[in-house]
C-alpha cells in the first residue's frame, strides 16, 4: 500500500483499527479512548468499573464508533489474558492502567510499595505480553503504547515508588520494541507531566504542591487530558510508522532543566 504524503490527513486516520485501552473508565484512559474513536478506531474499554466503562462507551457510540466493554482487573493476569481470546484482532494497545500513592521515601510502607508496583509494573508487563502474544499469533502488525510519566525520566518529590515503577516501564518499552520489531509491532511510551485528572486532583488541590508543579512546568499551564490523548493518537497512527522504542514527553518543558 502506498504511504500517504507527509501531512496528509489519512496519515492520522485509524479507520478499521481496533484499540484496546486499559484503565479506560476515567482520566487519561477515557481521554485516550475517545481520541482514538474520533480518529476512526473501534475501542475495547477495559477496567474494573463496569458502570464507568458504560458511560465512556456511550460517548464513543455517540461519535458513531463501536465500543466494547471489558470489565476486568488487569492485576488478575490469567483473567485478562483469557479475555483477549474473545476479541477480534487488536491493532492498538494502550497500556494505561496505573496508580500512585505519594509518600516520602522514609515513610513508604510495604503495602503501598506492593500495590503500586503490582499494578504499574507486574500487571503492565504481563498485559503487554498477553497482547503481544495475540498480535504475533495472529500476525497483526500492531502498535503498543505504554502510559509512562515524566517520573520515568526525573525524580519527583514524595514519589519514590511511582518513579521506580515508571523507570521500569521505560525500560520495558525499549526492550519490547527491540524484540518485537521483527514482527513489525511498534512499541512506544507517552510520558506526561502532571495532568488534571481524578487521580492527581487531591495533590493539585494542595496549593503548595500546585505551586511546585507550576514552577517546574516551563509552559504557562498544567497538562490536560487532551494533550496526552493527542500524543497517543499520533503514535498509534501511520504518521508514526517509523517510530519505535521512543518515549514521547508531554511535560510542558519540565525535563529540559
Q: Each residue's pLDDT tens digit in the chain (257 positions)?
A: 446 766 667 889 999 999 999 999 999 999 999 999 999 999 999 999 999 999 999 999 999 999 999 999 999 999 999 999 999 999 999 999 999 999 999 999 999 999 999 999 999 999 999 999 999 999 999 999 999 999 999 999 899 999 999 999 999 999 999 999 999 999 999 999 999 888 888 889 999 999 999 999 999 999 999 999 999 999 999 999 999 999 999 999 999 98
Per-residue CA distances from 197 to 76, 86, 106, 226, 228 (Å):
25, 31, 27, 11, 12
Kindly name the residue from 134, 162, 174, 216 that is annotated as catalytic. 162
| Predicted local distance difference test score (pLDDT) of residue 9 | 72
Q: Quick check: 217 and 127 in contact, CB under 8 A?
A: no
Cα 145 to Cα 21, 25, 62, 121, 201, distances in angstroms:
10, 18, 25, 14, 24
Q: Is 139 a catalytic residue?
A: no
Which is the catalytic residue, given 3, 166, 174, 218? 166
Handedness of CA 65, 69, 70, 74 (dihedral sign): positive
Q: Is 59 known to be catalytic? A: no
CB 173 within 8 A of CB 187: yes
Q: What's the DSSP call for residue 103?
A: B
Q: Residue 3 has what pLDDT?
A: 63
Question: Which pTM value belongs to this model?
Answer: 0.95
User: What distance in Å separates the CA atoms of residue 131 and residue 156, rounded to the nearest whole number?
Assistant: 31
CA dist 46 and 23 (Å) reads 6
> Which residues are CB-contacts of 67 (< 8 A; sequence separation ≥ 6)?
33, 37, 42, 43, 44, 45, 56, 57, 58, 60, 61
The CATH architecture annotation of domain 12-248 reads 3-Layer(aba) Sandwich (3.40)
- The rounded radius of gyration (Å) of the Cα atoms in the chain is 18
Strand partners, 223: 195
pLDDT at 1: 41
Q: Is 238 left (phi over 0), alpha (psi -120 to 50) or beta?
A: alpha
Closest CA to 180 of 129, 229, 221, 227: 129
Question: Cα–Cα distance between 149 and 247 in angstroms, integer?
Answer: 9
Query: Which sequence spans correspond to the domains of the chain?
Result: 12-248
Q: Which three cell numbers stand for residue 77?
A: 493476569
Rounded Cα gap, residues 221 and 233, in angstroms: 22
Question: Which of 94, 99, 50, 96 is CA-nearest to residue 70?
Answer: 50
Amino acid at each position: 500500500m502506498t504511504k500517504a504524503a507527509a501531512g496528509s490527513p489519512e496519515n492520522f486516520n485509524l479507520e478499521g483499527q481496533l484499540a484496546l485501552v486499559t484503565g479506560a473508565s476515567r482520566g487519561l484512559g477515557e481521554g485516550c479512548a475517545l481520541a482514538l474513536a474520533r480518529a476512526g478506531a473501534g475501542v475495547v474499554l477495559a477496567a474494573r468499573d463496569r458502570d464507568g466503562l458504560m458511560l465512556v462507551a456511550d460517548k464513543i457510540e455517540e461519535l458513531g464508533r463501536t465500543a466494547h466493554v471489558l470489565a476486568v482487573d488487569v492485576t488478575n493476569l490469567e483473567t485478562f489474558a483469557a479475555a483477549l481470546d474473545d476479541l477480534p484482532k487488536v491493532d492498538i494497545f494502550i497500556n494505561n492502567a496505573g496508580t500512585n500513592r505519594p509518600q516520602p521515601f522514609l515513610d513508604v510502607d510495604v503495602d503501598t510499595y506492593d500495590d503500586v508496583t503490582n499494578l504499574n509494573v507486574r500487571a503492565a508487563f504481563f498485559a503487554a505480553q498477553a497482547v503481544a502474544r495475540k498480535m504475533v499469533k495472529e500476525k497483526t502488525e500492531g502498535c503498543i503504547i505504554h502510559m509512562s510519566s515524566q517520573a520515568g525520566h526525573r525524580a519527583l518529590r514524595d514519589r519514590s515508588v511511582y518513579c521506580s515503577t515508571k523507570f521500569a516501564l521505560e525500560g520495558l518499552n525499549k526492550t519490547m520494541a527491540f524484540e518485537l520489531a521483527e514482527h513489525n509491532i511498534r512499541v512506544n511510551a507517552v510520558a506526561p507531566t502532571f495532568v488534571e485528572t481524578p487521580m492527581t486532583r487531591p495533590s493539585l488541590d494542595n496549593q503548595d504542591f500546585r505551586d511546585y508543579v507550576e514552577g517546574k512546568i516551563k509552559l504557562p499551564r498544567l497538562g490536560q487530558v487532551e494533550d496526552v490523548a493527542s500524543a497517543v493518537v499520533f503514535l498509534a497512527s501511520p504518521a508514526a510508522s517509523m517510530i519505535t522504542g521512543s518515549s514521547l514527553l508531554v511535560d510542558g518543558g519540565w525535563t529540559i532543566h
